[in-house]
Each structure stands twice: as structure tokens, then as C-alpha cells.
A and B are shown apart, each in its own frame.
Chain A
């Protein structure tokens, strides 16, 4: 999986957004967004609700279509070419707020579905890989159960394992802990921290500031469809530059 060119002096760009704009009808949801994510970088995106954080990362794997600008993922430009979209989606994994596991399939089948049908891997091999990742997220013994039989935290860890089974090079997290009970947040964050330490390129929309401080290379603050501030976690939390970021931080850290 390691890229041979990684030794180049210039860091490899995994995701690049150039002047990306998007409208929902009249509503301008993304305004001239520019962003470069290097391979192996861990980025946390925060901001008030409705600021376009989720929309931005959902544009990266074409769950939403951007209307102007350029998105390049892994050197492939995201346009209306279905082949490009397919290729990008194979390399980009995504974890959702509501897990979105397939309720009619067992945990193991959830993990094997895409490798078997998209990567065309034999069932035995797909199951072996799936068990490997289920072990990494610490629920191998639940493999034969159905999602409805698991707790929220367990379901989210299965969802992470399911994405990893496609061996993606980039992982997107869309508020992965927002739908969880407090005591389950930790088990999911631990899984994400472990993944970050393995060198995965990650873009996480989250309000877990502890997670941001521990693993993020940089924190992005978005408001009203724009990237207001991008800084190291240390700088961002201790010396926020903009009024909006100061206000936001005081609101979420204030209690």
C-alpha cells in the first residue's frame, strides 16, 4: 500500500480542493473553499451546524456534487466521468453519524459486501480480511450477529471496519460520535486514534476537541460555507485568530 514516491521532498497531496462552490437552490453552502491535504495528514474540521463541514467532506466522495471549482482526490479529478467517481470511491472510505450498517446482513457480510462485489475478492479472502479488521476494532466475536443486536458504539466500530476492508487510502468521518451515548464515545475515539497512528490520511468532522488535540495535524474552522481558520491544534485552541473561532471555542469549551 505504501507509495514508492513518498520519499520525494515535496509531500504528496491526497486531497485538493480549488475554489469549490456549491449551492442548495439559493443557499450558497460552500464559498470558494480551498484545501490541500497531504498524504498521512489528520485533519479535524469543526464549526457551527450549517457551516458546510459535512457538505465539504461529502463532496470529496461525490455523495454531494460541487457546482464550481475543482476537487482532485489521489490525483484523479472528480467530474461527471463515472469511471473517475468509481475509482475515487474505492480509495476513499467514509464513516457516517448514523453508522448506516446494512441491517439485513450480518456484521461479517457487511464487511465483505463491497470487497466481494467491487474489488472482486474471493469470499474466503474477503472474510479473512474482514476478521482481521474486526479484531482491530475489537469485536471479532460479534461477526455472526446482525447490526440490530449491537450497541451504538459497537455498530460504529463495525462501520469503521467495513470501510477499512476496502483498504482505502483516505478516510472521511462525518460526526462519527454525535449519535452515541457518552460512555460509548471513548471506544469509537480509541479506534480512530489507533487508525490515525497507523498513518491513515483522515478528514474528521467532529466536535471532540480532545481527539483534535491528541491526533490532529491541523484543525479547520468553518463558518457560513467558508474556511475561516486553519491551524495546528495547539495554536487553534490557545490563540484563535478570528472572532468567530473565539466565540465558537468559548461556546463549546465554556461549560
Chain B
């Protein structure tokens, strides 16, 4: 009974887990290191901040954001919102921002359309079409984007004639060295009804699509949704437009001396930047689309065919939904790249945020720290918004496994 060996054995086996010493507890260790790191970064930041302030003060450079309300005193070649030389530096920020967003937004749309078209062409069974797509992709994506912007701006656009001998289409559109001049719309108050009609048509189109889906699922009958929606979206606003007495006039451009009066002129810097960035990004998007479609296992198409689905339905219902999983994350980074690349417009003088605000405004005010900080913050916010949207979309498309 009192054999020490017998009683000792079970005791050593069922030892209470001994508490590790403070330094050997992984959780406590991690906590200590994290606290130390935060303190270290805090000290570093404080040092940089106070040092900068001290230096700026010593050299007599102003700090703070009151420069934003001072008059700017310089002109900008393209302004989407009213702007004169008497406007403030703060206004130059918004003019530049809108110009950046204009190129980024239009560029994303054009690059996506062209990229998907080229990507699908790349997979075509037609030898010539797929080769043309291949040559396009390999040429465009291996030339630096800055060079491509300069190519369009310096090599191609200057080949156009001057305003006096511009190429004109029906005496309404004029293409010349200084840009593309088009008639400008002048709206009357009643035009607002046409805009409402556009909105109404979109809502109606959405409802028609919903109803057609419901009808297909409940009766199995197909409805020509595409054509009906097309007629509604074009037809309804047109009808309202004429019923309200065509409340829209055009300011037709006319040549006066060496330049055009009236109309709207798209500056060549915008054309060049938009062409270069759209085409450059499209080449990457094309490869992404090709790889996405090819990533869908061949058995998927075979199973769909064996069930009697036609190739176009197979693409729509089976291949594309699965390809999108691969395409979307990469598409996001291309959209972000395009947005960031708009700052290359500086090289040809396109008045984007970097050129106007981080360029001219910075030179005039000398407040580099604030201006660069604001500009970087803008790109960060734009990128995060695009990322967030794409992540949300990606989550919706993700596959459920396990």
C-alpha cells in the first residue's frame, strides 16, 4: 500500500500543467514585443514631426493649411468646374482632382472594353484574329507607359493639321493639332424632363429584366430582354425629348481667325493620356481575361455540352461565372495601376492633381509637406475605395467549399 513507487507513478503522469515563467509564455512575450514596437514607432514619429516643424520654422517656411483660401493666380487648361485665376489654391486642388478622376474613370471604362475584346480574340479559333491579339498584347505591355504617352502626344497628335485645315466631319466635329472640337450642348430648363426620362427608362428596364426572369422561371418561356430594354432605354427619353419641344441647342464651333469659337474642345493632352493608358492597361486586362477563361477546367464545358447547353449559354452560365473569380482580383490591381499612372500626365502637361496641385500650387506656395501629404492621401483614398468595391464584389463571386 505504501510502496512509494506505486503512488509516485500516477502522480507524475497527472501533473497539473505548471505555469510557464513570464518569459516563456508566448502570449506574454508577444505582448511585450508589441508594446515595445508601438513605443518605438511613436518616438520615431514624434522625432520626425518635431524636427520637421523646427526646421520649417528656422527657414521661415509657413506651415498650416491657410494657403488653401488664398487666390491662386494661375490658369489651368482644362477645368471641369468653374475656375478663374482669381480662384483659391483650394480650388486648384479640386480642379486637379476632377481632372485625375476624369482620366481614371474614362480610362477604366475604355481599358475594360478593349481588354475583354482582345482577351476573347486571343482565344479565338481563327488563327489571324488570335495572332493579331497576341502581337497587340506583346507589343503594348512591353513598352513603358510613359513612352507610350509621349508617343501619342509627341509623335502622333502633332501629325494632325492645324485648326485652319482641321479634318472636319459634317462641319460639326473638327480634329486638329489643338484637340478635338465638338458642338457643346446648351440645355433649356425643360431638358430636365429628358434626364428624368432616362432615369425612368433605367428603372423600367430593370423591372422588365426582373419580370422576364420571373416569367422564365415560372413558365419556362424566354423573353427578348436585351432588345426590349434597348428600345425602352433609347425610346422613352427620345419620346420625352420631342414631347417637351426639343429643349436642347448646340453651340456649333466655328473657325475665327486661327482658332475655334464656341463648342467644346477636348485638349490633346487628355486624348494622348487617355489613349496611352487605356491601350496599355487593356493589354494587361486581355491577358487576365484569357487566363481567367482558360483557368476553367475543360470538363466544365464538356459537362455543359453533354447536358445540351449551347456554347453561348455555356459561356454565360458556366465559364464566365467561374472565370470571374480569377479575373477580378487581378482586374482590381490593373484599375489601381491605371489610376496611379494618370500622374504620368505631368510629362505632357495634362492638368491632373500632381501637375496642378503638387506642381504649380506647390511651387507658388512652397508648402511642400502639406501639399504632398494631401496628394498622397487622395491617391490612397481612391485606391482604397476601388479595392473595397472589388473585394466586396469578389466575396460575392467566391466559391463555397467545405
| Partner-B contacts on A (CB < 8 A) | 61-63, 86, 89-90, 92-94, 96, 98, 100-104, 113-114, 116-125, 146, 148-149, 159, 162-163, 166
Contacts of B299 in A (CB 8 A): 96, 98, 100
B318 on the interface (CB 8 Å rule)?
A: yes
CA distance A159 to B306 in the complex (A): 12
Contact A61 B306, beta carbon cutoff 8 Å: yes
Least distance between B190 CB and chain A CB atoms (Å): 45
Beyond the given A103-B399, A124-B217, could you list 9 further A-B residue pairs with CB under 8 A, ordered by the A residue number? A86-B310, A96-B299, A96-B302, A100-B300, A104-B321, A114-B304, A118-B308, A148-B401, A159-B303
Q: List 28 A-B contacts (CB under 8 A).
A: A63-B305, A63-B306, A86-B308, A89-B305, A89-B307, A93-B306, A94-B306, A96-B299, A96-B303, A96-B306, A100-B297, A102-B318, A103-B399, A104-B321, A104-B397, A113-B309, A113-B317, A114-B308, A116-B217, A117-B313, A118-B308, A119-B220, A120-B221, A120-B222, A122-B218, A146-B400, A148-B401, A163-B306
Contact A123 B300, beta carbon cutoff 8 Å: no
Least distance between B308 CB and chain A CB atoms (Å): 4
CA distance A94 to B318 in the complex (A): 17
Contacts of B309 in A (CB 8 A): 113-114, 117-118
Contacts of A102 in B (CB 8 A): 300, 303-304, 318, 322
Contacts of B222 in A (CB 8 A): 120
Contact A100 B302, beta carbon cutoff 8 Å: yes
Least distance between B319 CB and chain A CB atoms (Å): 10
B9 on the interface (CB 8 Å rule)?
A: no
B219 on the interface (CB 8 Å rule)?
A: yes
Contacts of A118 in B (CB 8 A): 307-309
CA distance A103 to B300 in the complex (A): 9
Partner pick for A113 among B221, B307, B402, CB 8 A cutoff = B307
- Give the residue name and chain of the A residue nearest to B398 (CB): A104
Question: Quick one: given A116-B220, A123-B217, are A63 and B321 in contact (CB under 8 Å)?
Answer: no
Main secondary structure of the interface of B (DSSP, over half): helix
Contact A123 B218, beta carbon cutoff 8 Å: yes
- Give the residue name and chain of the B residue nearest to A172 (CB): B306
| Interface of chain B residues 95 through 137 with chain A (CB within 8 A) | none
Least distance between B93 CB and chain A CB atoms (Å): 44
| Interface of chain B residues 285 through 307 with chain A (CB within 8 A) | 297, 299-300, 302-307
Least distance between B78 CB and chain A CB atoms (Å): 44
Max chain B C-beta neighbours (<10 A), residue from A63, A96, A104: A104
CA distance A113 to B318 in the complex (A): 10
Contact A166 B305, beta carbon cutoff 8 Å: no
CA distance A125 to B310 in the complex (A): 22
Least distance between A143 CB and chain B CB atoms (Å): 14
Contact A124 B399, beta carbon cutoff 8 Å: no
- Give the residue name and chain of the B residue nearest to A101 (CB): B303
CA distance A114 to B314 in the complex (A): 10
Contact A166 B308, beta carbon cutoff 8 Å: yes
Contact B302 A63, beta carbon cutoff 8 Å: yes
- The count of A-to-B residue pairs whose CB atoms sit within 8 angstroms is 88
Contacts of B303 in A (CB 8 A): 94, 96, 100-102, 159
Q: Which 4 A-B pairs have the closest CB atoms?
A: A148-B401, A123-B217, A100-B303, A114-B307
Least distance between A68 CB and chain B CB atoms (Å): 22
Contact B221 A117, beta carbon cutoff 8 Å: no
Contact B321 A149, beta carbon cutoff 8 Å: no
Contact B402 A104, beta carbon cutoff 8 Å: no
Contact A162 B400, beta carbon cutoff 8 Å: no
CA distance A146 to B402 in the complex (A): 8
- Give the residue name and chain of the B residue nearest to A93 (CB): B306
- Give the residue name and chain of the A residue nearest to B217 (CB): A123
Contacts of B400 in A (CB 8 A): 146, 148-149
Least distance between A234 CB and chain B CB atoms (Å): 32
CA distance A120 to B217 in the complex (A): 9
- Give the residue name and chain of the A residue nearest to B399 (CB): A103
CA distance A114 to B307 in the complex (A): 6
- Give the residue name and chain of the A residue nearest to B302 (CB): A63
CA distance A58 to B78 in the complex (A): 63
CA distance A146 to B302 in the complex (A): 20
CA distance A123 to B321 in the complex (A): 20
CA distance A166 to B309 in the complex (A): 11
CA distance A62 to B402 in the complex (A): 34
Contact A90 B317, beta carbon cutoff 8 Å: no
Contact A149 B300, beta carbon cutoff 8 Å: no
CA distance A102 to B318 in the complex (A): 7
Contacts of B306 in A (CB 8 A): 61, 63, 89, 92-94, 96, 163
Question: Quick one: given A149-B402, A162-B307, are A121 and B302 in contact (CB under 8 Å)?
Answer: no
Contact A117 B219, beta carbon cutoff 8 Å: no
Contacts of A159 in B (CB 8 A): 303
- Give the residue name and chain of the A residue nearest to B306 (CB): A94
CA distance A61 to B303 in the complex (A): 11
Contacts of B221 in A (CB 8 A): 120
Contacts of A116 in B (CB 8 A): 216-217, 220
Least distance between B325 CB and chain A CB atoms (Å): 8
Max chain B C-beta neighbours (<10 A), residue from A100, A125, A148: A100
Contacts of A92 in B (CB 8 A): 306
CA distance A212 to B305 in the complex (A): 28
Least distance between B313 CB and chain A CB atoms (Å): 6
Contacts of A120 in B (CB 8 A): 220-222
Least distance between B396 CB and chain A CB atoms (Å): 11
Question: Quick one: given A93-B306, A117-B313, are A104 and B218 in contact (CB under 8 Å)?
Answer: no
Contact A124 B218, beta carbon cutoff 8 Å: yes
CA distance A210 to B101 in the complex (A): 69
CA distance A62 to B317 in the complex (A): 21
Contact B313 A149, beta carbon cutoff 8 Å: no
- Give the residue name and chain of the A residue nearest to B215 (CB): A122
Least distance between A31 CB and chain B CB atoms (Å): 24
Contacts of B325 in A (CB 8 A): 104
Least distance between A10 CB and chain B CB atoms (Å): 29
